[in-house]
Structure 1
């Protein structure tokens, strides 16, 4: 079972708040995170400062520090929030894969949902850029991305590949990683590195080609799993 993401770090305990203060607090925290996203994505982590983040968020610097102890803690909180709220892989939340759906339709549904959501999801693309740019400085954040987004869908796909009566893959985990890795590569090249103008590839063509490739390697010769 996945470990729940850590709560947003708060630097110190505060005195009891009135109901109106408590109601306003989440809005202010969100404003800080929104401002931090703007500053980090436009200036990078090294050039970003708490002064600039406070200005972008529309809060005072003391208020900023009352929520987040330092820039590193704010960056970690931002990544955790983006992972939680902007994951495009929501269709894998079902308890069990649907074995009644033909494999081709099931795989197209997954790839189409992820790519369709990601192409217009600027916060998620910003998350990817931040993680790629700062992965060496914050390796635990990249691991959070893998733990919360990549790992669940790979495990669910591998289970589907292993248990579906019409599929017969020698190594379902490797097959699932190839499928998910191809989708992530497409996202990085087309949407983050602006590769669509260098080697354009229509989304539907990518999905159809990937699904055909996977199923060509895994369709069982009979209607039951091989021994």
Structure 2
């Protein structure tokens, strides 16, 4: 990853409408501290190789897998590819490795700052996708009871995510709890109508009909296809 930011952009991002009295000096202090963290073995007088001064700003030169966010994205991509190939064991391993990198809310200390909002959203979406891949992989492996319990947590955290509701309902049905699966799908419909003013999408509607009809072949196909899009 190579990201270039001008000093004025950084000052505006960090302090927004309330910069310190001497913003460039304050920025330089922060940059110096960050360099010490990024290159702890850099000797006195050696030029920085990671966070470098370029023209009127600073450039951060790091390989994508040098930071947790890059590793997270790579592992989620690999997990999604494995799931699409029908390899639930590989998908599960990669998705769980991705989730193990998560140590709490993204940018927890500065999560309300404007400059991190898009990145917070991106990382949170990656985490949710990894959680869905785990559920879909466990469902494909026949771990229906585990998937049902995890699906309840996922829908509580993401009540507007239809794919999460579908995974939870499928897990309940395949665990022999079809009445609960139907109730879950009804809850999904109510949430979507109350929060978004819309009914469920075609996949959720089709899943409801299949569970009510006891369409085993269609439900097996639905299980194989369940998960993030």
| TM-score category, normalised to shorter length | 0.3 to 0.5
Larger strand share, 1 or 2 = 2
User: TM-score, normalized by length of structure 1?
Assistant: 0.36
Between the two structures, name the one with larger relative contact order (CA 8 Å, sep ≥ 6).
1
Q: TM-score, normalised by structure 2?
A: 0.36
- Structure with max Cα Rg: 2
